[in-house]
Structure 1
Amino acid sequence: MEVKAQCEFENFGPDGNFTSSTKWQNSPSVVVIGGGISGLAAARALHNAGFKVTLLESRNRLGGRVHTDYSFGCPIDMGASWLHGVCNENSLAPLIRYLGLKLYRTSGDDSVLYDHDLESYALFDANGVQVPQQLVVEVGDTFKRILKQTENVRDEHDGDMSINRAISIVLERNPNLRLEGLSYQVLQWFICRMEAWFAADVDKISLKNWDQEQVLSGGHGLMVGGYYPLIKALSKNLTIRLNQRVKRIARCGNEVSLTTESGESHVADVAIITVPLGVLKANSIQFEPELPDWKRAAIADIGVGNENKIALLFDSVFWPNVEFLGVVAAAPRRCGYFLNLHKPTGHPVLVFMAAGAIAADLETLSDAAAAAFAMKILRKIFACAADPTGDGLMQVQYLVSRWGSDGDSLGCYSCDLVGKDEDVYERYRKPVDNLFFAGEAASVDHSGTVHGAFSAGIFAAEECAKFLSALPGGADGVLVARQEEVAESAVPLQISRM
């Protein structure tokens, strides 16, 4: 049986409930664990195919690591914010087109390591002096040459090592590629941006795998209005239970029994597990019987990175009209990077982004202290920068994410650490009896992305449906064509770059 992510996009009812109006009788039952985009995609597809689906989400909101915050009076994505691959081949493109959501392209096809091209930026040294753009371009070209040389190091070694170690070997062999002074600091900023791509420190990123990711064409685009409209559309008319943290999953014959932290029980024919990889790595869910060794090894072998954001709301714009601002330094963790949301959205908001160890360090601070830390870096560029104040009416002037310590995520997204096996993603998404696995870490080709999570949810739904159809008395679900199938080919992606 084929299952597709065809969705109904009417507005929610006046009561705001997610309860389906469909009456199910003698239909196979599925419990989806996790209300991120992967879980919603799986639930949506199976619901449309005629299965009885209940989605359990541990938080008091949907979206998971896709989280659009409206505290500033405008949408701010504190989790995922880019569409990686602004093209019709992206699995999310039909939904984005149908909803008429706008994208702001920040890079072209040649950007493999960064969310941005070096076309609209401003870098500064510790004294607030802008780095000449020609120097930044030259250092960027040198960094590309260094990374190209790491391919030789990879070919020479059977085992894996960190990309940081490989860079050191390249520089030992090629003194002409070594940089000093301001050029060296700019190089550290490029390494800082590389760490942000993987959400991990450069001494933990795999040499064998760092450049093996399949990146779709079209470059990278910010979701101008945030990702929440996709979450809202996918959740329409689904049976959803919030504040349901699953603590135990038991396979009992042909059924799955789940127990939540509050003591509630749910029984279904199958379960689709879409909780973040970090939650499974922490053994936050007890499996009975235990998952087989190969599955537990897959969970252990995939890395989980961490990246956090500190969003700052100001009453007016005092920075240049560029897409991002950066501070160079003598080490990657001392560099800084601010996304300028005013350029794509018109809102006076800067977002400080930190990855790897520095992201974890920020989680030890209070929100106020984290905002002060970001402002300290910002004042290296603009010494007289005022504290974030909003428009004088907003009570919240800063937002801080804590994906690493958030018990419902325990990390930002999966990444390729040193020693990763080539088939680890396939093993992670492989079902165990009537347990199916989805989430961004279950995407073989596009892990760590929103569209990868979405596709993994659809794949799990398809495999789940095949499993249920093969049971005695199983019957194929029938999909009814929706109006967006007709409209999607006629509605182009709305892309801008100012």
Structure 2
Amino acid sequence: MTCTSEIFDVIIVGCGAAGIAAAIELQTIPQLKFILLEARNRVGGRIVTDTTTFDINTPVDLGAQWVHHFRPEHPLYKYNELSKDIHINNHFIFRSLATPFFDIDGTRISSNKIQKAEEISNRLCNIIKESSLSIDKSMFDVIKSEYIQYNNDPQMKRLIDLFLGIIEQYEASNLDQLSAKSYLLSDNGIDEYNLSMPNGFGIFIENVVQQHQLPVELNSIVTRIDTSLSNSIVRIYTKDERLFLCKYVLITIPLGCLKAHSIEFIPSLPEWKQNAIDIMGVGLSNKIFLQFPFVFWDPTWYSILCTSPQFRFILCRPNECMLQIKLAARTALEFEEKNDKDIIDKVMILLRTIFSDRNVPEPTRFLITKWNQDEFSKGAYSNFAIGADNQTLIDLARECNDRIYWAGEHANYDGTIGCVDSALESGERQVKKIIQKIKQ
């Protein structure tokens, strides 16, 4: 066991968005000694850009892809000039002339039918919104009696599922897993105004870390945190048998890792903390990137929506001859168990059904994400599972033993959750509490 002689004021576990925001805030107090311990061989956590699968001029974001809720109060607003190629992208998934709808047999769905399905879906969502529940239940349970009335029209049912699937895609879980009482809390009333970064969100975050010259120790997998000593020093152990000492520790690892007990805490976490970890939901969102030798779809399309229960949302990137398919919830989990060839074969069957009147080539390159199998993520991002509410977030963020503090997109109480801005806000807020504690 190798022990550092230095006792840090603060050690941040994790160099994702929350850890980065916390570290930048700590830099405002020059006399504080701190370090970030990152398990991966890179910074950014679930914000990562691949520039090798296709080529350097075709970056793809494997995790976070959009800067959600962009506004002057946004933590990244001050970094506008770091990327010269940031532009507004408010087209996440919506009905427009640039987004055709196809049925599972490849036929184009009429605008009248689309409009009717959207109206029905909005009505179902209003039922969830207006429900007064003493005991929480799933979103699906709240709308079930109304929803099953459309079983006699299979195409309309598939269209309704597609529109409801927008919620499932955004929350990364199925409606029968999501809290009805906490419906709409994820965005906390803040407008969904998105920034797109064609150069890559991961590249942007790396630039932020480099600009601030943050002290990061990569390949540092924390396995145990011990606060049992009477001298108030926190002992942090890593997988490669290093020991770090500090006065305060800020935990910013993903909720999926907390659920998997990736870190052993001595003494054990209090019951209220473990309950919050158990109750809060973790969704799964994956992507399939396919690059083709030429564009065989209409290059003016922004996206393609399909009533296929597996491949509903396809983003078009004609400049790179690429299609990006979004998977979520149980579908994403199911496909993580399949081999890549089977996944690509299934996608190609759908594409050749939709574009049966033209030559659809085999992809020249592809990339498939599997975030649930990622040992340092174990899922995509948090959501309000049945029984979870803002008090759950408060408990997730609440410190333990006056020395262990918590931050992350899953712990941003009174704000948004599940997004990069959620993590940034949480990291900054929680580390300010540590700074106040040190100043006392």
Q: Same fold (TM over 0.5)?
A: yes
Percentage of identical aligned residues: 27
- Unaligned segments of structure 2, at least 5 residues: none
Amino acid in the other structure paired with 2:265: F
Equivalence for 2:223: 247
Equivalence for 1:206: 179
Which segment is superposed worse, 209-218 or 223-232? 209-218
Superposition misfits of 4+ residues, deviation over 6 angstroms: none
Q: Say if 1:33 and 1:56, in contact at 8 Å, map to a contact too.
A: yes
Call closer, same or farther: CA 1:133–1:125 in 2, change over 3 Å.
same
Alpha-carbon distance, 1:376 to partner: 2.8
CA RMSD of the aligned region, Å? 2.1
Q: Say if 2:8 and 2:35, in contact at 8 Å, map to a contact too.
A: no
The answer to whether residue 98 in structure 2 is matched with residue 117 in structure 1 is no
Call closer, same or farther: CA 1:179–1:37 in 2, change over 3 Å.
farther
In the alignment, the residues of structure 2 paired with residue 103 and residue 258 of structure 1 have an alpha-carbon distance, to the nearest angstrom, of: 41
1:447 paired residue among 417, 420, 426:
417
1:361 paired residue among 328, 334, 342:
334
Equivalence for 1:234: 208
Q: Say if 2:13 and 2:38, in contact at 8 Å, map to a contact too.
A: yes
Which aligned pairs between 1:98-497 and structure 2 lie closer than 5 A? Answer: 98-107=82-91, 115-119=92-96, 120-152=98-130, 154-155=131-132, 157-171=133-147, 180-213=153-186, 214-217=188-191, 219-236=193-210, 237-251=213-227, 252=229, 253-320=231-298, 321-329=300-308, 333-342=309-318, 346-383=319-356, 384-389=359-364, 397-432=365-400, 433-444=402-413, 445-470=415-440
Alpha-carbon distance, 1:407 to partner: 0.9
Which aligned pairs between 1:47-58 and structure 2 lie closer than 5 A? Answer: 47-50=27-30, 51-58=32-39
In the alignment, the residues of structure 1 paired with residue 304 and residue 69 of structure 2 have an alpha-carbon distance, to the nearest angstrom, of: 23
Call closer, same or farther: CA 1:264–1:28 in 2, change over 3 Å.
closer
Call closer, same or farther: CA 1:341–1:148 in 2, change over 3 Å.
same
- Unaligned segments of structure 1, at least 5 residues: 1-24, 108-114, 390-396, 471-498
In the alignment, the residues of structure 2 paired with residue 60 and residue 87 of structure 1 have an alpha-carbon distance, to the nearest angstrom, of: 32
Q: Say if 1:185 and 1:328, in contact at 8 Å, map to a contact too.
A: yes
> Secondary structure of the residue that 1:58 maps to in structure 2?
coil
Call closer, same or farther: CA 1:52–1:233 in 2, change over 3 Å.
farther
Alpha-carbon distance, 1:159 to partner: 1.0
Q: Say if 1:87 and 1:93, in contact at 8 Å, map to a contact too.
A: yes
Amino acid in the other structure paired with 2:42: R
In the alignment, the residues of structure 2 paired with residue 312 and residue 451 of structure 1 have an alpha-carbon distance, to the nearest angstrom, of: 29
TM-score (norm 2): 0.90
In the alignment, the residues of structure 2 paired with residue 56 and residue 368 of structure 1 have an alpha-carbon distance, to the nearest angstrom, of: 37
Number of equivalenced pairs: 421
In the alignment, the residues of structure 1 paired with residue 33 and residue 339 of structure 2 have an alpha-carbon distance, to the nearest angstrom, of: 43
In the alignment, the residues of structure 2 paired with residue 151 and residue 218 of structure 1 have an alpha-carbon distance, to the nearest angstrom, of: 18
> Secondary structure of the residue that 2:276 maps to in structure 1?
helix
Equivalence for 1:86: 70
Call closer, same or farther: CA 1:356–1:431 in 2, change over 3 Å.
same
> Secondary structure of the residue that 1:275 maps to in structure 2?
coil
Alpha-carbon distance, 1:341 to partner: 2.7
